[in-house]
Amino acid sequence: MSHEYEFPRAALTVDCVVFGLDDEDLKVLLIERDLPPFEGRWALPGGFVRLDETLDDAARRELCEETGLERVYLEQLYTFGDLDRDPRERVVTVAYYALVRLSDHRVQAATDARQAAWFAIDDLPRLAFDHERILAMAHERLRGKVRYQPIGFELLPPKFALRQLQHLYEVILDRPLDKRNFRKKILAMDILVELDEVETDVAHRAARLYRFDKTKYRRLTKQGFNFEI
Amino acid sequence: MSHEYEFPRAALTVDCVVFGLDDEDLKVLLIERDLPPFEGRWALPGGFVRLDETLDDAARRELCEETGLERVYLEQLYTFGDLDRDPRERVVTVAYYALVRLSDHRVQAATDARQAAWFAIDDLPRLAFDHERILAMAHERLRGKVRYQPIGFELLPPKFALRQLQHLYEVILDRPLDKRNFRKKILAMDILVELDEVETDVAHRAARLYRFDKTKYRRLTKQGFNFEI
């Protein structure tokens, strides 16, 4: 190691904003801190990056250790480096975010987390550090993302009604969408395959089922589009 | 400082991908390294983050120190943390990118840079570290960005012909665009104000001049759109 690089260093952490969808709400996964600073305060799951792990690995490890969540596709969001964001010392954090189906994931608090729980996005406790700012940016990114990339592939069952897909968008965007307009636009994206099946076991009139065309879905994810809804 | 945070730490750097536009080319600003590792190799301007400066400030400082460039709007791109990206030790780098008008900026190498120069994006030397990967991601982001946000405000003179704006897009996207189609789409964005003036001192037929509507331009920058060209 060259001598000129021996100077005081910031600590490096990762933080994870995991959004969870259920039938009604957009939720976010938080942990209650078991250590100072902000002991007892709710925060995003996260922690220090080890010298021998990549940033992505650190995010996955911390998320799993503190909340039990595994096999979540975390995407890098932004790196936050304000001077005073941690009362202990200079800490720079690389934030990640993800969107999962709530029913797929059972949370289990451990390590530095006293408990882990899902909170509705519009009913959050006060958060530790600058985590409110990180969460706000992640939320904005998520809303922006659904305008440029298809969603639903990992959030819906393999066969679904258009109503279910529309509901996903409504929950994320937090506003009702016009049914006819939504159907027209989503079908124009050419990522859905209409099946020769209808819903079963439903109280209302059974709706036509669809599935995603995986190849077209992936292509659209890559190239982007504009879904002005 | 709590004891549990005393562990070996990665070094933290910033790197800047500054794209420059002139009349013909998209260029990128590189420096020739004056220190090992990769002494004599071209690289992105950048360096170590100090404990008492934000990441944004570090990026601005390093860019200015090594290349003389000031007053550049740097946007955070991505943080790179592969284990072996620096042969000395673990170094995590927060990458930034910017797009400037080449004629506005005179480069002047200093500090750790032997020289600084603009290179055409399609004729680059071999780069140090993982800087080719960083540059590739910045280039992809730039091309993506022009589809969702207006460009040109800081890259064109206050009054300009549509041909000049089209040329900007052609240089960034590296392909010719259909004139009629481009005009139709750019005017539909409703960010241009047609002036009661035409070009002067031009060899070809004097074209109508336009300026940006600053308020609408900013609104569109914020809300995004889809400019499929």
Closest residue in chain A to residue B93, using alpha carbons only: A79
For the cut 60, the answer to whether the pLDDT of residue A1 exceeds it is: no
Closest residue in chain B to residue A48, using alpha carbons only: B5
**B61 contacts B48 by C-beta, under 8 angstroms:** no
The reply to whether B160 falls in a domain is: yes
Q: How many CB pairs under 8 A join A and B?
A: 88
Taking an 8 Å cut-off on Cβ atoms, the answer to whether A36 and B2 are in contact is: yes
Range 53-92 of B in CB contact (< 8 A) with A: 53-56, 76, 78-79, 81-83, 88-90, 92
Q: What is the pTM of this model?
A: 0.90
CA-to-CA separations, A219 to A76, A98, B10, B178, in angstroms, rounded: 21, 20, 37, 25
ipTM of the prediction greater than 0.95, yes or no: no
The residue-averaged pLDDT of B61-67 equals 95
Do B115 and B191 lie in a common domain?
Answer: no
Do A47 and A107 lie in a common domain?
Answer: yes
The residue-averaged pLDDT of A23-35 equals 91
- On chain B, the residues whose CB falls within 8 A of the CB of A185 are none
Touching check for B223 and chain A: CB below 8 Å? Answer: no
Domain that holds residue A162: 148-223
Given A132, A162, A188, the domain boundary residue is: A132
Chain segment A116-144, per-residue pLDDT in tens? 999 999 999 999 999 999 999 999 999 98
Given B1, B88, B226, which is nearest A225 (Cβ)?
B226
The reply to whether A34 falls in a domain is: yes
Residue A40, sorted as left (phi over 0), alpha (psi -120 to 50) or beta, turns out to be: left
Determine if the peptide bond prior to B37 is cis (ω within 30°). Answer: yes
Q: What CATH number is associated with residue A154?
A: 1.10.10.10
The reply to whether A107 falls in a domain is: yes
Q: B interface mutation test: which of A61, A91, A92 has the most B CBs within 10 A?
A: A92
Given B146, B163, B184, the domain boundary residue is: B146
Q: What confidence category does residue B5 fall into, taking pLDDT thresholds of 50, 70 and 90?
A: low
Q: How far apart are CA B190 and CA B209, in angstroms?
A: 15
**B116 contacts B30 by C-beta, under 8 angstroms:** yes
Q: How far apart are CA B129 and CA B86, in angstroms?
A: 6
Do B92 and B161 lie in a common domain?
Answer: no
Paired tokens of B165: 């704006």
Given B8, B78, B225, which is nearest A51 (Cβ)?
B8
Touching check for B125 and chain A: CB below 8 Å? Answer: no
The reply to whether B228 falls in a domain is: no
Chain segment B173-189, per-residue pLDDT in tens? 989 999 999 999 999 88
Strand blocks (E) in chain B = 11-21, 26-33, 42-43, 46-48, 75-80, 91-101, 113-120, 160-161, 192-198, 208-212
pLDDT on residue A111: 73
Touching check for B228 and chain A: CB below 8 Å? Answer: yes
Do B218 and B197 lie in a common domain?
Answer: yes
A55 CA: distance to closest CA in chain B (Å)? 6
Q: In whole angstroms, what separates CA B142 from the centre of its chain?
A: 8
Chain segment B44-54, per-residue pLDDT in tens? 999 999 999 99
Touching check for B12 and chain A: CB below 8 Å? Answer: yes
The reply to whether A137 falls in a domain is: no
Chain segment A139-198, per-residue pLDDT in tens? 999 998 888 788 888 889 899 999 999 999 999 998 999 999 999 999 988 999 999 999
Do A116 and A161 lie in a common domain?
Answer: no
Given B146, B176, B191, the domain boundary residue is: B146
The reply to whether A203 falls in a domain is: yes
Q: What CATH number is associated with residue A47?
A: 3.90.79.10
**Helix residue ranges per DSSP H, chain B:** 55-67, 131-148, 162-173, 179-188, 214-223
Closest residue in chain A to residue B59, using alpha carbons only: A81
Paired tokens of B151: 């460009």
- On chain B, the residues whose CB falls within 8 A of the CB of A36 are 2
Domain count, chain A: 2
Chain segment A32-77, per-residue pLDDT in tens? 999 899 999 999 999 999 999 999 999 999 999 999 999 999 999 9
pLDDT on residue A5: 57
The reply to whether A140 falls in a domain is: no
Do B88 and B124 lie in a common domain?
Answer: yes
The reply to whether B229 falls in a domain is: no
DSSP state letter for A43: E
B13 CA: distance to closest CA in chain A (Å)? 11
Do B89 and B127 lie in a common domain?
Answer: yes
Mean pLDDT taken over chain A: 90
Q: How far apart are CA A75 and CA A61, in angstroms?
A: 14
CA-derived radius of gyration, chain B: 20
Closest to A127 measured CA to CA, from A67, A46, A41, A48: A41
Do A154 and A102 lie in a common domain?
Answer: no
Question: What type of residue is B94?
Answer: V
Taking an 8 Å cut-off on Cβ atoms, the answer to whether B12 and A52 are in contact is: no
Do B109 and B7 lie in a common domain?
Answer: yes
- On chain A, the residues whose CB falls within 8 A of the CB of B133 are none
Given B9, B52, B224, which is nearest A83 (Cβ)?
B52
Between these two residues, B100 and B4, which has the higher pLDDT value? B100
Taking an 8 Å cut-off on Cβ atoms, the answer to whether A10 and B7 are in contact is: no
Do B34 and B120 lie in a common domain?
Answer: yes
Do B141 and B171 lie in a common domain?
Answer: no
Do B140 and B160 lie in a common domain?
Answer: no
